[in-house]
Amino acid sequence: MITEVLTVAAEAGESDHNPIIPLWQEVVLGLIAFSILCFVLMKFVFPMMEKTFAARVDAIEGGIKRAEAAQAEANQLLEQYKAQLAEARTEAARIRDEARADAEGIRQDILAKAREESDRIIGAGQEQLAAQRESIVRELRSEVGSLAVDLASKIVGESLADEARSRGTVERFINELGPAGSAGGRR
């Protein structure tokens, strides 16, 4: 490429301009223009871009950090809730057990009371029955005596009236009784 340029330059030697000899006016202008460009871009534009890049990285990393913090907080809350839930569950189980025990106790109590009551009622009934039986027996006894006497007297009277053959017996009985027999006969 350089040789190509040199040959072109050699041909150009015949004309007014040599393309590999810089024009000093253009050098000056190029220097000024490029300096202005460098000054503006390197002072006002690219440092701002670096700042923006840094801010962007910061924002993204900050975002990640915030997300991590939120995640950690959420996890902590979850743990807390789980612990609370477990606590509540054991509490509920305990209460249920207690209630069951209470109910059992109450049932036993009531049963015992009922049994006692029934025993009491049965006892009272039996006592009453016994008393009634006693009195009935007593009554019956006295009544049976008189009834027997009545019946006996009736039987005796009948036989006296009806059967002539028993006359001798009655007379004998009366004779045996003597004076006492008259008193007994009145009775």
Q: Summarize as ranges the residues that interact with another protein (CB under 8 A).
A: 1-2, 4-5, 8, 11-12, 15-27, 29-31, 33-34, 36-38, 40-42, 44-53, 55-56, 59
Nearer to another protein, 30 or 123 (CB): 30
Nearer to another protein, 9 or 173 (CB): 9
Q: Terminus-to-terminus CA distance in the chain, angstroms?
A: 183
What is the DSSP code (8-state) at residue 43? Answer: I
Question: Alpha carbon of 10 to those of 2, 3, 167: distances in Å?
Answer: 12, 10, 205
Nearer to another protein, 49 or 149 (CB): 49
Least distance between another protein and beta carbon 36 (Å): 6
Least distance between another protein and beta carbon 68 (Å): 20
Least distance between another protein and beta carbon 67 (Å): 17
Least distance between another protein and beta carbon 71 (Å): 23
Least distance between another protein and beta carbon 66 (Å): 15
Residues with Cβ < 8 Å from 170, sequence gap 6 or more?
160
| C-alpha to C-alpha distance for 90 and 77, rounded to whole angstroms | 20
Give the 3-state secondary structure of residue 21: coil
Nearer to another protein, 59 or 136 (CB): 59
The one-letter amino acid code at 17 reads H
Contact 153, 147 (CB under 8 A): no
Residue linked to tokens 């330059």: 9
| C-alpha to C-alpha distance for 139 and 132, rounded to whole angstroms | 10
Nearer to another protein, 52 or 84 (CB): 52
